[in-house]
Amino acid sequence: MNISNLTSELKFVNRIGQTLSLDERVQIDLAVSKLKQETEFEIFNFWGRIEGIHKNYYIVQGVNFKGATSFPVKRYFWRYSTLT
């Protein structure tokens, strides 16, 4: 899911009982804004949430096509929840 379309695309996974709260979306938006400033990636995709026993983990994929001859450069970033 492209981060810029995250809110509108969450309606598709909401039907199966999985979605992100407003607080989770805001935290993801803030974290990705910081990544955009600190990295050279062109696109950020929300990969998903891993629900843990004590914390949830949120995975974002950075994609860069600059200088890639056949495959884009991809890097995964993660952060655990600070919400209780």
Report the mean per-residue pLDDT for the chain: 84
Give this prediction's pTM.
0.75
Tokens read off for 62? 């950075």
Domain extents in the chain: 3-80
Higher-confidence residue of 54 and 15: namely 54
7 and 19 in contact (C-beta within 8 Å)?
Answer: no
The predicted pLDDT at position 24 comes to: 86
CA-CA distance, 28 to 39, in Å (whole number)?
16
